[in-house]
Structure 1
Amino acid sequence: MTPQDILIHLDQGRLWPAPITANADFDLPAGYALALQVRGLRMARGEVPRGYKVGFTNRTIWPRYNVFAPIWGTVWNSTLSFCDGTGEMGLSATCQPRLEPEVVFGLKATPAPDASLQDLFNAIDWVAPGFEVVQSHLPDWKFLPADTVADGALHARLLVGSRIPARELAIDAIALDALLAQASTTLSRDGETVDSGVGANVLDSPLRALLDFVQTLRCCPGAPDLQAGDVVTTGTWTDAWPIAPGQKWTARFTLPGFELTAHFKE
């Protein structure tokens, strides 16, 4: 598939005709190169990058999806929205959408070269609960890692809840790392609990997932570095759950101010 083909299927919410990895030479570096070409097309038509999503950081679900390392993709002004705790999310033109409760970071500066956890903490402005809607353009969510990278790292939408200044949560990186690792979340659909998870599922903590992403991003040829104002969502604490219009989903985290409800519509 060409970058234009991928964009057409994305806009129309249509399944791909076949995995790109049907070509045995299509590997992860090729996937990122293709994804960056699609990124260029989206920017050329006026979409604005607002940050990144990091996926497959939750080791507990790796065997289920046959993916055993994190991936990343771009978050856009057309896919990102904010709320104070309750918001709406449209599912138009998404493909086999699923929902993930996550922790989202907002940056106030580019992390230092060879950043430590404390350097990273110093670059963070705020922390928030988030719902990422993920999608797959291959049937039944069956893919290889390079397919997911070319598929925009499966990103469809991101709803960010109440943003808490990082220093209101913790005094330094060690404290924030421990706080996030030890926290848990309960995910419910229309008032019924469907799943739960802990921050340690996400590469031992969302802060460590963010650090791993910073290092990975800087090793990718052609990828732009993080900038002040970027939003980064760090991966689901639970499994990814199928969603449909008319449903109400809530994630309750054991973190102060971290509760998020989303109403889904067409």
Structure 2
Amino acid sequence: MTTTSPDLDATAALLDDAAREARGMDQLGLDASVAEAYDIQRRSMARREARGERLIGIKMGLTSRAKMAQVNITEVIWGQLTDAMVVENGGTMDASRFGQPRAEPEIAFRLGKSLSGVVTELEAWAAIEGVAPAVEILDSRFRNFKFNLADAIADNCSAAGLVVGPWTAPGVDFSNLGMCMSIDGRPVGIGSSAAILGHPIRTLVAAARLTAQYGGELRAGDIFLSGAPTAAVPLKPGMRVSLEVQSLGQCGFSVTTPSEGA
């Protein structure tokens, strides 16, 4: 496939329009540096903010071997979360808002203080004020989730939605928690939080460094999705998704169409 050098604003608009319209598109094959790809992401997210969306946190991507193998990319990346992406725990996800949604189990952190640059694991621990089970909803703008590294970053790392369960005080040891995501009561993703870069705290350390390097922020009050230990699972209307995380509890949601949700 031929790669193309990006017009940053035009590419940001193209990706934003595809996301708003839940419309699939061909892989761009961007011939862009990582810095340029994050610049496209920033410009695309600025369009969302101009429409009234509010940034509420950061998500990490490709933090396990399973995820890297699924999309054939070998680098950890990050994207941004907005309030419009939130699906209430126990609520419904309107399938018509998404083109090819997938779900994956996560450990979420709520930050009590900002983090930036090179930090230690102890400093990252000290910044956490809450831990929770979470499900991230992915929806690549590229058909069949086929993209190169620059495409993935520019497309906000496929961020589309999140469901967060009850918050627990950060004293719980989340280094090796069993995680089971089920659809309609049938397990579809079983793993351990230890598969998230070996320990989820390492993704927060990486995020502090990478966001500072490429123009993002980890702010007090933000939600941070640490990444998934298993591959993402496609979603269809009628499904009921649930996640149980050892010591942290449960969260879940139903996938509906507009007529079902009315």
Calculate the TM-score normalised by the size of structure 2: 0.89
**Counterpart residue identity of residue 264, structure 1:** V
Q: Conserved in 2, the CA contact under 8 Å of 1:105 and 1:128?
A: yes
Q: Which residue of 1 aligns with 2:16?
A: 7
**Counterpart residue identity of residue 70, structure 2:** R
Measure the CA separation in 1 of the matches of 2:144 and 2:250: 30
Classify 1:26/1:117 alpha carbon distance in 2 versus 1 (closer, same or farther; 3 Å).
same
Q: Does the alignment pair 1:211 with 2:202?
A: no
Unaligned regions of 5+ residues in structure 2, if any? 1-9, 258-262
Q: Conserved in 2, the CA contact under 8 Å of 1:96 and 1:135?
A: yes
1:252 to 226, 231, 244: 244
Pairs within 5 Å for 1:56-135? 56-83=62-89, 86-111=90-115, 114-135=118-139
Measure the CA separation in 1 of the matches of 2:116 and 2:141: 36
Q: Which residue of 2 aligns with 1:144?
A: 148
Q: Conserved in 1, the CA contact under 8 Å of 2:116 and 2:217?
A: no
**Counterpart residue identity of residue 189, structure 1:** I
Deviation at 1:68, TM superposition (A): 0.5
Q: Which residue of 2 aligns with 1:176?
A: none
1:20 to 13, 22, 28: 28
**Counterpart residue identity of residue 207, structure 1:** I
Measure the CA separation in 1 of the matches of 2:141 and 2:116: 36
Q: Does the alignment pair 1:265 with 2:256?
A: yes
Q: Which residue of 1 aligns with 2:234?
A: 242
Measure the CA separation in 2 of the matches of 1:140 and 1:125: 37
Deviation at 1:94, TM superposition (A): 1.0
Q: Conserved in 2, the CA contact under 8 Å of 1:57 and 1:236?
A: yes
Deviation at 1:112, TM superposition (A): 6.3
Deviation at 1:113, TM superposition (A): 5.4
Partner of 1:2, secondary structure, is helix
**Counterpart residue identity of residue 203, structure 2:** A
Unaligned regions of 5+ residues in structure 1, if any? 170-178
Measure the CA separation in 2 of the matches of 1:259 and 1:96: 25
Partner of 1:54, secondary structure, is strand
Q: Conserved in 1, the CA contact under 8 Å of 2:27 and 2:151?
A: yes
Measure the CA separation in 2 of the matches of 1:117 and 1:39: 29
Q: Which residue of 2 aligns with 1:42?
A: 48
Measure the CA separation in 2 of the matches of 1:132 and 1:197: 15
Deviation at 1:13, TM superposition (A): 0.5
Deviation at 1:195, TM superposition (A): 2.3
Deviation at 1:82, TM superposition (A): 4.3
Deviation at 1:163, TM superposition (A): 0.7
Report the more deviating stretch, 246-255 or 108-117.
108-117
**Counterpart residue identity of residue 150, structure 1:** A
After superposition, give the CA deviation of every residue in 1:204-260 in whole Å (9 maximum; x if it has no partner): 11111111111111111xx232111111101112110001121111212122x4212
Measure the CA separation in 2 of the matches of 1:224 and 1:72: 9
Q: Conserved in 2, the CA contact under 8 Å of 1:100 and 1:238?
A: yes
Q: Conserved in 2, the CA contact under 8 Å of 1:20 and 1:26?
A: no
* 4+ residue runs over 3 A deviation: none
Q: Conserved in 2, the CA contact under 8 Å of 1:130 and 1:260?
A: yes
Measure the CA separation in 1 of the matches of 2:107 and 2:189: 16
2:186 to 192, 216, 221: 192
Size of the alignment, in residue pairs?
A: 248
Classify 1:224/1:192 alpha carbon distance in 2 versus 1 (closer, same or farther; 3 Å).
closer
Classify 1:26/1:113 alpha carbon distance in 2 versus 1 (closer, same or farther; 3 Å).
closer
